[in-house]
Structures are given as C-alpha cells and as structure tokens.
Amino acid sequence: MSTTSGKAQRHSQFVGQDKPRRNAIRHAHGRGRFVDDIAFGNLAHLAFLRSPYAHAEILEIDTEAARALPGVVDVFTGPDLVDICTPWVGKLDHFSGLRTPEQYPLAMERARWNGEPVVAVVAESRAIAEDALDLIMVEWAELPAIIGIDNSRSTNGPILHPQYDSNVAFVMNLTAGDAKAAFRDAAYIVEDTLELGRQTGLTLEPRSIVADFDPSLRKLTAYHSTQTPYQMQDVFVRHFNLSEENVRVISPDVGGSFGMKLHVYGEEMAAVAASIRLGRPVKFIADRMESFLSDIHLREHKVHARMALNSGGEILAMEVDDATGIGPFSVYPRTSAMEGNQALRLMGAPYKMPHYDGTLTVLFQNKAPTCQYRAVGHPIGVTVTEHLVDLAAKAVGLNPFEIRRRNIVTQDMYPHTTATGYILERLSHEECLAKLEALMDYPKLIAEQKEMRERGIYRGIGIAAFIEITNPGPAFYGIGGARISSQDGCVIKLEPSGKIRVSVSVTEQGQGTETIMAQVAATYLGVDLDHVDVVTGDTERTPYGGATWASRGAGIGGATVMKAALAMKENILEIAGVILQGEADDFDLVDGQIVDRSNQQVRMSLAEIGRIAYFRPDTLPQDYHPQLSVSRHFVPQGTPFDFTNGVQASYLEVDVETGIVKLLNHWVVEDCGIILNQQLVDEQIRGGVVHGLGGVLFEECLYSENGQMMSATMADYLAPLASEMPDIQIDHVCTPTEMTPLGAKGVGEAGTAAAGAVVLNAVNDALRPLGGTLRTTPLTPERILKALGKI
C-alpha cells in the first residue's frame, strides 16, 4: 500500500490494524440474536395471501372460513387499515416530475405485482396462519400485465396506473458541453444497446420484524431487521400517528442488508398495524419465497449508448438513453429514481470526457418494485461505459490499457468535475491503472491467451475503471424532503472500571461496523481495544443518526466516534490533572494509563480515574464536576460525496461448445483513502465483487410473459457459490479525503461497481476471434451460444 499523506501516521495503535469482526466469535458459537431468536410472551404470527397475478382487479375477498379456523386471531385486508395507517408516496422534491401513487400496507382495489400482499392473517402460529391462507377465497379479474421495458414504454399498450397518461414515472435529462457537435466531429463513433437483468437482494437473514404495541401507553417497540432504525422510527411515528418518544426501533443482529433493508415494505407496516389492532406482539419473518417475491429488486435497465472519440482515441462525448423498469411504485422513502439517476451520472465518470447527453426514463411495470441496493447504479454506468471503451479500443486500434490511460482523469486535474456533474476531490486513476497492469502481469496473460487460442481454448481479459459514490453529504435525502438524517451521533461513557462504552448511530449488518468504531475509539482515546464496547441499533440507547447505507458507516460514523473519543480524552486528562495536581496538558492517555506527557511515565490507571470520579468525588476540589460521558455529532461537509476510485480486471475461459464461463482470476486495485482495517476492507471488496459476479453470470429475477416470477426459489435463482468464484486479488492506493478528520472514504460498493463490467468485457474479448458479442446479462450459456451462432 502506498500512502500519499501524512494522515495515516497520525493514527496510533488500532486504526489501520487488521482486527477480526468482534461479533464473529459470538455468531460462530451460535449466539447470534436475530429478530427470530428473541422470545416473546403472547406472540402472534403473521402470514400473507399474495397476489397470484401480476395485475388484477380484486373483486371480492371472502375471509369467513379463515376467521373460523381455530388459532386464527385476526384477518384483515387493505381497506381495513385505512384508519390505522396513512398511505405513503415514494417521491423526493429534487426529482421533480417523479410521479407514483399512494401506497398502502396491503393492495387496495388492485394487485399490481405477482407476490404483492393482499390479505393478512394473524394466528397463534405461522403454520396455522398459512393454513388459514388456504381458506381465503378471492375473486380476481385479471388485467393485462406490463412486463418488459419495451412493453411498458410502448405508447399504445396498456397503462398501469389509470390516472396517468403513460407508464413513465420519471424522465431526467443531463447534458454538458455540446455532445451533438462532438459526435459530428468525431473520428470514431461506437454504439451498442445493453440489457441488464433484474436481480434481488438475497440476504442470509430475511426481512424480519416483531412489532410490540402497548396500548396502555400507545408505545410501539419494533424489533426490526433494518439498516436504518431512526428512519423506521420516523416512518412508524408518522404513518401510525404515534409520538416519537413512544416509538422504539431495535435492530439486534442483522444478517445482511445491502440496501435491501432500507426501504418501507407493506408487510412490516402490516405487522405494526396488526400489533396495534391486537395489542400484542406480532411477528413477520419473510420466508425465502416471500423474499424473492417482495424484497426490492434492482438493476433492470436497457441502455442504448454511443461514444464519440477523436483520432487520438480521446473520448469526446457519450450519448446515453437509459430506460429502467421499477415495478408498480417508486419505493418509499428513497424513491426508485435514484438508481437510474446515479447510473446516468456515473457514465464516463473516470474519464476526461467533456460532452454528455443522457436521458433516463423510469417506467412502471407489473413486477416487484426495484430500489437502492449495494452499488446503486454503479454496475450500469460502469458496464455501459466500459463496454463502449472496449469497442472504441478496437475501433481506434489501441489496447485496453492504453485507451484507458489516454482518457482517465489525471493527477493534475483535481479537483475535477465530471461531465455528469460529480465533483471529485482527489482520485488516483493513473496509479491504480499502473498497479493493476503490474499486478495481473498483463503481457504474460496476453501471451497465454494467444497461445491458448491456437489450441482452441478461448480465454478473455477484461478491465474496467470505476468511481464509487461514498459518504454522502448533508444534502443527500434531506434536500428532497425525506426525513433521513445525513449526520451521525456518538456518546462515549467512561465506566467506573475504566472501560469505555461507545454508543453510535451507525449500524452493523455483518460488515464489521462495531469493530471499526471500537478501533477508532480505542485509538483516539488511547485505551486497549478490548476495553471498548460498542452499542448500535437501538433508537432509545443510541444518538439519532443516518445509520448505515451508501458506504457511509466507516467514513462518517468513524469521524463521529473520533470526535467523541477526542472529547472524552480531553475530559479524562482534565480529571487526571485535577487528581494529580497538574495541568491536563501535562498528561496523556496511553494504553489505558495516564502518563506524564514529558517522559511517558505511568501515573495512574484509567480504572483509578473511574474509581475516584464515581465513588470518591469527595476527594476532589469543591465545585469540580468530572464529565464522565460526552456526546458529539458529525455532519459531513465539503463536496456532496467522497468519491473513491479503482480498477478491476477479470481473466476467464469460455467453453465455446457449452457457453459456460469459468472465472480464472480477478483483480481489484482500489483507493478508499485511509484504511481503518484492511481485513474488513478486503472482505468488503471481495464480497462486493462476488455480488457483481453473481449479477453478471447467474442471478436473474425471471418473469413469464404474464408476469409470474419464475425464479422465486434458491433452486431457480442462481446465487454465486464459492465453488465458481475465482481468487480475488486486491491491492490498494491511499488518497485520504480532507472532507472528514479521519480521512477514510467508503468501500462497501467498490467491488460490485465493476465486477460485472470486467466479466462482460472479458467474455467479449474471449469471443472476439469467433465474432460474437454479448449484450445481455446475466451471461447464460444459452445467450453465449446464441452470440456464437451455435444455436
């Protein structure tokens, strides 16, 4: 790792060290405590009758037999909840023109996707609730389903929401410079149409909630597997007309989220409604099929794009027409326009390209709603751009490294604003690209590829540059009117024993947030890592904040903890000064001991400070009140985001007789600024890469022509398995950000951003001598055989 700033040196001790995830040992011992593990008295269970149709009028619902089943506690439909729960609308003010109808916990008069919850049954057990579902009779009138993107875009086809004049939810244009002129004057123009398949989240722990409403106090406690307990507290307050102080959201262990657990879902709202109706705790745990049918989906895009270059192979402009299908609603509260918005802005972003003309069309369809998910928009922007860059390389006659080297934003250009409007503080494309070329030994691979081709073995090499959007600033969601905080808070408490308790508003879903926060606290306080305990995920026990999404946990949460730790340390040294009858400045806190700053001699332990401050304040001067807890909040400022950058490469083999792709190797060179914990950073990158590889090779939410989801089990939806994954080699460049005192940027989405793009490029590279091009992902054997003209 190379370091381009002195900032890293300032960190003592634990920042920058590899520390395993603290909860890993507990989970390995089977001591995880997920929502489903928590015992409740008088618990009732919730199950849903879901729409078997993609689009249908609900004519009549007969619940009589279900109600009569012993063990059934309650049966309700959408209209039954209108007095309990107000509807929501997935709009943001800064996406002007975005339209989407009001949404209710359960379908009202129409069902709009296969799997939409329609009737809820509450029973003494989930099994009884499911028995009751079989007894509910619904009379449906099936309506024509709008499924494909072209189908939705068609001007003479059916319209999903009768109150609108088309299926268009949102249109956005983004222009810079004069793209038309650039294309007119171009020496080379390349273009293509790419289609990216729908994926879904697939967390190990499904969506889970126990809603426990106490009618005597009108107090709701929700044990909820969410990334954003504060956002959900606010949602419950406003839509169930409760008082903020009476709503507590607890997120215990959360088994993966990836953005999927940020959104408001009808099922969780129905669970809260059921608990309010019944005055007893109600549990909903999505089963795997429900997850496939009702978790958000993502990334269904059809993009036509063109790129103009001059005779020297310099990219002049891109024209992009991106159409995306989002299902029947824009998802609340973050909207389903964000993914397309980011995709459109990430086009060409690593490059100097001056001119741009992009259009985004967001379309309604009768499929599960789509929304933000790990690497929101990145794989689309990167795949389209890098596919065109490879086409351009071929047209101009440059090798893939050379064309990228000629076009990437260079060190002398920062701060730099992309044609699409992103402000880049300082990135390291040149260094990353050079490192990658050496790391993968590109000339050797080229030679090997050539030699293999002569033997009828088709190997391909793909590379792709990317930027990643991390640490969103203060104007991210709030500006659009969403009550989603972009600041975070931290309280640090000195315990009488000298131990440290940190409570912080960023949350943990398995990525190691709590470990990172402990490392930052231990470092800036000067105590042992094992003496720091971190509390997250409880709106009643932690300060209010944005929590964990958009690769903001380590960067923003870490800066928050750093500020609180420095303040706590100041207080501790002040107490030490009083006890030791010196000045606070005379002392330092090192390894949990108060030492003389001048000679590092140990004067007293932190435990002794705790003992005196808590139990013998009588020995301290009159009017002296030791401050034993502190709180600090941190608002990210400066540019709207801290961008990171990197470059990836893939080496693979295509079996041209079967269309099966074998991944041989994968490389990532990435720059996330200061690395707080390399093991966790590398885990994030590897996990992210696997997400990207899953998307490009395996995962697809397949729908039939009439809108039935066909891949709604783990047998049919192909998740990437360890057995098919290549080694993933990682190297780092370190360009710290000046936007936060810690210098750390995010890293959670970098792997996903470009992993798919490099595989697509590598497959097309492999097939080049045979003359086939893949344009649709995932790259199934059938699609590859078709591209090869074998079938």
Partner 1 sequence: MKPGLFQYVRADDVEKAVSLLQEFGDEAQLLAGGQSLVPAMALRMALPDVLIDISSIAEMRSITLTDDVLRIGAGCRYVDVLRSEDVARAAPMLVQAIPFIAHEAIRNRGTIGGSLAHADPASELPACMLALDAAIVLQSASGARTIAAEDFFLGTYSTALDEGEMIIAVEIPAIAVNQHHRFLEISRRSGDYAISGGAFVLEMDAGIITAARLAFFAVGDCAVLAGSEALLGKPLNAETIDQVAQRVGEEITFYGDLYNGIGAKRQITKTLTRRLLAQFPGMEL
- Identify which of residues 295 and 731 has a Cβ nearer to partner 1 in the complex: 295
- Identify which of residues 728 and 785 has a Cβ nearer to partner 1 in the complex: 785
Of 521, 507, 603, 533, the closest CA to residue 563 belongs to 521
> Is residue 660 at the binding interface for partner 1, with CB under 8 A as the rule?
yes
Burial class (CB in 10 A: 0-12, 13-18, 19+), 319: buried
- Identify which of residues 602 and 714 has a Cβ nearer to partner 1 in the complex: 714
- Identify which of residues 134 and 441 has a Cβ nearer to partner 1 in the complex: 134
Of the residues 718, 729, 768, 773, which one makes contact with partner 1 according to CB under 8 A? 718
Of the residues 74, 116, 131, 488, which one makes contact with partner 1 according to CB under 8 A? 131
Of 32, 693, 2, the closest CA to residue 374 belongs to 693
**Least distance CB 697 / partner 1 (angstroms):** 8
In angstroms, rounded to a whole number, what is the distance separating the alpha carbons of residues 230 and 121? Answer: 28
**Least distance CB 778 / partner 1 (angstroms):** 9
> Is residue 570 at the binding interface for partner 1, with CB under 8 A as the rule?
no
> Is residue 716 at the binding interface for partner 1, with CB under 8 A as the rule?
yes
Q: Which stretch binds partner 1 (CB under 8 A): 51-59, 251-259, 404-412, 781-789?
A: 781-789
**Least distance CB 761 / partner 1 (angstroms):** 20
Q: Which stretch binds partner 1 (CB under 8 A): 324-332, 479-487, 671-679, 705-713?
A: 705-713
Is the four-CA dihedral 714, 716, 719, 721 of positive or negative sign?
positive
**Contact between 98 and 169 (Cβ < 8 Å):** yes
- Identify which of residues 390 and 700 has a Cβ nearer to partner 1 in the complex: 700
> Is residue 174 at the binding interface for partner 1, with CB under 8 A as the rule?
no
Strands (E), 606-659: 629-634, 642-655
Q: Which stretch binds partner 1 (CB under 8 A): 304-312, 332-340, 571-579, 696-704?
A: 696-704
- Identify which of residues 217 and 722 has a Cβ nearer to partner 1 in the complex: 722
> Is residue 608 at the binding interface for partner 1, with CB under 8 A as the rule?
no
> Is residue 65 at the binding interface for partner 1, with CB under 8 A as the rule?
no
- Identify which of residues 201 and 720 has a Cβ nearer to partner 1 in the complex: 720
Q: Which pairs with CB-CB distance under 8 Å and at least 24 residues apart come from 158-167? A: 160/55, 160/112, 160/328, 160/364, 160/365, 160/366, 161/101, 161/328, 161/364, 163/101, 164/99, 167/363, 167/364, 167/365
Of the residues 62, 585, 657, 705, which one makes contact with partner 1 according to CB under 8 A? 657
Q: Which stretch binds partner 1 (CB under 8 A): 220-228, 259-267, 450-458, 719-727?
A: 719-727
**Least distance CB 125 / partner 1 (angstroms):** 8
Other CB atoms within 10 A of residue 538 CB:
16
**Contact between 549 and 259 (Cβ < 8 Å):** yes
What residues between 288 and 347 interact with partner 1 by CB under 8 A? 288-289
Of 206, 273, 208, the closest CA to residue 236 belongs to 273
Helix-helix angle 378-396:338-346, to 10 degrees: 30
> Is residue 127 at the binding interface for partner 1, with CB under 8 A as the rule?
yes
- Identify which of residues 45 and 91 has a Cβ nearer to partner 1 in the complex: 45
Pair of tokens at residue 34: 């997920």
> Is residue 782 at the binding interface for partner 1, with CB under 8 A as the rule?
yes
**Least distance CB 111 / partner 1 (angstroms):** 20
Q: Which stretch binds partner 1 (CB under 8 A): 72-80, 120-128, 491-499, 676-684?
A: 120-128
Q: Which stretch binds partner 1 (CB under 8 A): 104-112, 148-156, 609-617, 712-720?
A: 712-720
**Contact between 301 and 343 (Cβ < 8 Å):** yes
Amino acid at 239: H
Q: Which stretch binds partner 1 (CB under 8 A): 136-144, 285-293, 326-334, 407-415?
A: 285-293
> Is residue 287 at the binding interface for partner 1, with CB under 8 A as the rule?
yes
**Least distance CB 659 / partner 1 (angstroms):** 7
> Is residue 785 at the binding interface for partner 1, with CB under 8 A as the rule?
yes
Omega before 70 cis (within 30°)? Answer: no
Is the four-CA dihedral 353, 358, 364, 365 of positive or negative sign?
negative
Greatest C-alpha distance within the chain: 90
x/- letters, 400..419, toward partner 1 (CB under 8 A): --------------------
Mapping DSSP onto H, E and C, the string for 328-395 reads CCCCCCCCCCHHHHHHHHHCCCCECCCEEEEEEEEECCCCCCECCCCCCCHHHHHHHHHHHHHHHHHH
> Is residue 134 at the binding interface for partner 1, with CB under 8 A as the rule?
yes
**Least distance CB 140 / partner 1 (angstroms):** 20
> Is residue 790 at the binding interface for partner 1, with CB under 8 A as the rule?
yes
Tokens 């996406």 belong to 95
In angstroms, rounded to a whole number, what is the distance separating the alpha carbons of residues 503 and 500? Answer: 10
In angstroms, rounded to a whole number, what is the distance separating the alpha carbons of residues 226 and 222? Answer: 10
What residues between 751 and 780 interact with partner 1 by CB under 8 A? 780
- Identify which of residues 126 and 219 has a Cβ nearer to partner 1 in the complex: 126
What is 79-135 written as a DSSP string? GGGTTT---B----TTSTT-----B-SS--SEE-STT-EEEEEEESSHHHHHHHHTT
**Least distance CB 737 / partner 1 (angstroms):** 39
Of the residues 90, 659, 688, 756, which one makes contact with partner 1 according to CB under 8 A? 659
Of the residues 126, 352, 501, 775, which one makes contact with partner 1 according to CB under 8 A? 126
**Contact between 493 and 689 (Cβ < 8 Å):** no
In angstroms, rounded to a whole number, what is the distance separating the alpha carbons of residues 35 and 646? Answer: 37
> Is residue 495 at the binding interface for partner 1, with CB under 8 A as the rule?
no
Of the residues 359, 679, 711, 776, which one makes contact with partner 1 according to CB under 8 A? 711
**Least distance CB 690 / partner 1 (angstroms):** 13
**Least distance CB 658 / partner 1 (angstroms):** 5
What residues between 423 and 462 interact with partner 1 by CB under 8 A? none
> Is residue 710 at the binding interface for partner 1, with CB under 8 A as the rule?
yes
With contacts defined by CB under 8 A, how many residues of the chain interact with partner 1? 32
The DSSP bridge pattern shows strands 488-494 and 629-634 to be antiparallel
Pair of tokens at residue 762: 């590598």
**Least distance CB 170 / partner 1 (angstroms):** 32
Burial class (CB in 10 A: 0-12, 13-18, 19+), 782: exposed
- Identify which of residues 626 and 778 has a Cβ nearer to partner 1 in the complex: 778
Pair of tokens at residue 747: 């890293």
> Is residue 702 at the binding interface for partner 1, with CB under 8 A as the rule?
yes
Tokens 């997935």 belong to 90
Q: Which stretch binds partner 1 (CB under 8 A): 67-75, 368-376, 676-684, 707-715?
A: 707-715
Q: Which stretch binds partner 1 (CB under 8 A): 287-295, 451-459, 492-500, 740-748?
A: 287-295
The DSSP bridge pattern shows strands 137-142 and 188-196 to be unpaired
Beta bridge partners of residue 534, listed in sequence order? 502
Strands (E), 391-457: 416-417, 423-424
- Identify which of residues 197 and 229 has a Cβ nearer to partner 1 in the complex: 197
In angstroms, rounded to a whole number, what is the distance separating the alpha carbons of residues 33 and 516? Answer: 20
Is the four-CA dihedral 345, 348, 351, 352 of positive or negative sign?
negative
**Least distance CB 656 / partner 1 (angstroms):** 10
- Identify which of residues 91 and 198 has a Cβ nearer to partner 1 in the complex: 198
Pair of tokens at residue 582: 């010196």
In angstroms, rounded to a whole number, what is the distance separating the alpha carbons of residues 80 and 492? Answer: 45
Of the residues 142, 191, 596, 724, which one makes contact with partner 1 according to CB under 8 A? 724
- Residues of this chain that interact with partner 1 (CB under 8 A) are 125-127, 130-131, 134, 287-289, 657-660, 697-698, 702, 710-711, 713, 715-716, 718, 720-721, 723-724, 780-782, 785, 790-791
